[in-house]
Amino acid sequence: MHVPTQYPFSAFPDRSEEQQRATTLFKKKNPNDCFFRNDAEFDWLYPEHLQSLSQKQWTPIAIAKKAAEYLAVKGAKVLDVGSGIGKFCLTAAHFYPDSFYFGVEQRHELVHYAQTTQKYLDLNNVSFIHANITQVNFHQFDHFYFYNSFFENLDQENAIDDHIETSYGLYAYYSRYLKSMLNDKPSGTRVVTYQSFGEIIPIDYSMKDLAYDSLLQLWVKD
């Protein structure tokens, strides 16, 4: 009796272009995308007491994406002034991996959770600095994001906590300091402000765009 040495074989039909594109998109999907679909999904990464502050204190995902789109010049170093739990930097780093993002924050607890989340998400183009902004060398950075982190000095009832000193004098001091740092930056420097009164923007910066009821403002130095 003759036993065949090979099983019968029939090639699968060629896949359509649409099927091939779908397969490619599936392969490229980042498993961390689920955390950046909306604010609730992102907030899940943090303990409950920080989740409860989300609506008032942390940059919304949609705002972070819009700001990052403007600031994400390839190879640029972007500084978030008062980075909190790191939401802007982490969102920007996820969607725009060809730039580098740094957050400076004076509350050690928030820096700790920002760093913990950065490690969990395995994002290598972002880091966080525990410091006051007066300790930061602004010459090391190209572009800047500012979500009015000084405002708690005016609205102390809605401050993140009572662990740091707040006062109107500090609000004025930090605003003047940041404005002077931005004033020293070269032409082409980009700045995005969210819910800011504009007092930190030097006169030689031009507004390039507005979004979200004018709360988000995109600037560049002339």
Query: Each residue of 84-141: pLDDT tens digit?
Result: 999 999 999 999 999 999 999 999 999 999 999 999 999 999 999 999 999 999 999 9
What structural domains and CATH numbers belong to the chain?
27-221 (3.40.50.150)
Average pLDDT over residues 149-154: 78
When the pLDDT of each residue in the chain is averaged and rounded to a whole number, the result is: 88
In angstroms, rounded to a whole number, what is the distance separating the alpha carbons of residues 34 and 119?
Answer: 16
Residue 53's pLDDT band, with cuts at 50, 70 and 90, is: confident
> How many residues are there in the chain?
222
Q: Does residue 190 contact residue 73 with C-beta atoms inside 8 Å?
A: yes
pLDDT of 22 higher than 90 = no
84 backbone φψ class: left, alpha, beta (φ>0; ψ -120 to 50): left
pLDDT per residue as tens digits for the range 153-186? 777 666 667 677 778 899 899 999 999 999 999 9
Output 16 or 56, whichever has higher pLDDT: 56
63 closest CA partner among 86, 104, 83, 92? 92
Q: What is the pTM of this model?
A: 0.83
* CB burial string 160-189: b at 16+ within 10 A, e below: beeeeebeeeebeebbebbeebbeebeeeb
Mean pLDDT, residues 50-56: 82
